[in-house]
A and B are shown apart, each in its own frame.
Chain A
Amino acid sequence: MRVLLVEDEMRLAANIVAGLREAGFAVDHAADGLEGSQYAEQDLFDLIVLDLMLPGRDGKGVLRSLRQKGILTPVLILTAQEGKTPIIELLNCGADDYLAKPFDLGELIARIKALIRRSKGAASPQIHVADLQIDTVRQTVTRGAQVIDLSPTEYRILEYLAHKPRAIVSKKQLLEHLYDYDWEHHSNVIEAHISNLRRKLTQPGSEPIIETLRYRGYRLRTEDWR
Chain B
Amino acid sequence: MTTNASITRRLTVSILLLELFAALALITTVTNHERHVRFETFDANLRGTCNALLGAVQEADSKDGSVQLDLTGMSFPSRAIYRVTVDNGQILGARGTLPSISVIPGSVTRTKVQDRPFRFYMLKGERVIDPGSPGAVNHHVTVIYGVPEGDTWHAVFEEARFFSIATVALLGITTLLISWLIRRFLLPIRELAHEAEKVSAERWTFHAPDSSKRFVELRPLASAIEKALARLEGSFQQQRRFTSDAAHEIKTDLAIIKSSVQLLSMRRRTVEEYEQGLILGLEDIGRLESTIQKMLALARLEQGPKADRETSDLAEIVEDVIVQSQPYADIKEVEVITENLQIGVEVLLDREDAMMLFSNVLLNALQHSSTNGLVKISMMTDRETVVLRIRDYGEGISEEDRPFLFDAFYRGDASRSRKSGGTGLGLSICKAICDRAGGSIGIANHPDGGAEVEIRFPIFSRIARAT
Contacts and interface: CB of A to CB of B under 8 A. Distances in A.
B419 A102 contact: no
B282 to A, nearest CB: 12
B256 A11 contact: yes
B258 A102 contact: yes
A217 B256 CA distance: 41
Interface in A85-111: 100-106
A224 interface: no
Contacts of A80: 247-248, 251-252, 255
Contacts of A145: none
B415 A56 contact: yes
Interface stretch (A16-24, A129-137, A174-182): A16-24
User: Which size class do B's interface residues fall under?
Assistant: 20 to 34
A175 to B, nearest CB: 26
B262 A104 contact: yes
Contacts of B38: none
A8 B419 contact: yes
A16 B418 contact: no
B311 to A, nearest CB: 42
B413 interface: yes
Given A80-B255, A102-B258, A19 B417 contact: no
A41 to B, nearest CB: 20
A102 B251 contact: yes
A23 B256 CA distance: 18
B267 interface: yes
Nearest to B249: A80
Interface string B245-261: 00110011011111110
A99 B118 CA distance: 112
Contacts of A56: 415
A102 B255 contact: yes
Given A11-B256, A103-B255, A55 B262 contact: no
Nearest to B262: A105
Contacts of B414: 55, 58
A87 to B, nearest CB: 14
Nearest to B258: A102
B413 A105 contact: no
A56 B413 CA distance: 9
A54 B263 contact: no
A30 to B, nearest CB: 13
Contacts of A23: 266
A79 B318 CA distance: 41
Contacts of B416: 53
A115 B203 CA distance: 40
Interface string A28-66: 000011000000000000000000011110100000000
A12 interface: yes
B415 A15 contact: no
Nearest to A57: B415
A81 interface: yes
A143 to B, nearest CB: 26
A19 B259 contact: yes
A223 interface: no
A196 B284 CA distance: 42
B392 to A, nearest CB: 23
A23 B259 CA distance: 14
B256 A15 contact: yes
Q: Is the interface of B mostly helix, strand, loop or mixed?
A: helix
A10 interface: yes
Contacts of A18: 263
B248 A81 contact: yes
Given A22-B267, A54-B415, A105-B266, A12 B255 contact: yes
A82 interface: yes
A104 B258 CA distance: 7
Contacts of B284: 11
B252 A9 contact: yes
Given A12-B256, A81-B248, A103-B255, A19 B415 contact: no
Contacts of B267: 22
A12 B259 CA distance: 7
B259 A15 contact: yes
B290 interface: no
Interface in A107-157: none
B244 interface: yes
Nearest to B411: A55
A58 B414 CA distance: 9
Given A19-B259, A105-B259, A55 B415 contact: yes
Contacts of B244: 81-82
Contact of B263 (A33, A58, A101, A105): A105
A103 B258 CA distance: 8
Contacts of A58: 414-415
A140 B263 CA distance: 21
Interface centre among B244, B259, B266, B267 (most CB of A within 10 A): B259
A22 B419 contact: no
Contacts of B263: 15, 18-19, 22, 105
B419 A101 contact: no
B334 to A, nearest CB: 24
Interface string A2-13: 000000111110
A22 B262 CA distance: 12
Nearest to A16: B259
Interface in B259-273: 259-260, 262-263, 266-267
Nearest to B413: A55
A55 B413 CA distance: 7
Contacts of B418: 8-9
A82 B262 contact: no
Contacts of B247: 80, 82
A193 B252 CA distance: 40
A78 to B, nearest CB: 8
Interface of B: 244, 247-248, 251-252, 254-260, 262-263, 266-267, 280, 284, 413-419
13 contacts: A9-B252, A9-B255, A11-B256, A11-B260, A15-B256, A15-B263, A19-B259, A19-B263, A80-B248, A102-B254, A104-B258, A105-B266, A106-B262
Given A11-B284, A58-B414, 13 more contacts: A15-B256, A15-B259, A15-B263, A19-B262, A53-B248, A53-B415, A54-B415, A58-B415, A80-B248, A82-B244, A102-B258, A104-B258, A105-B262
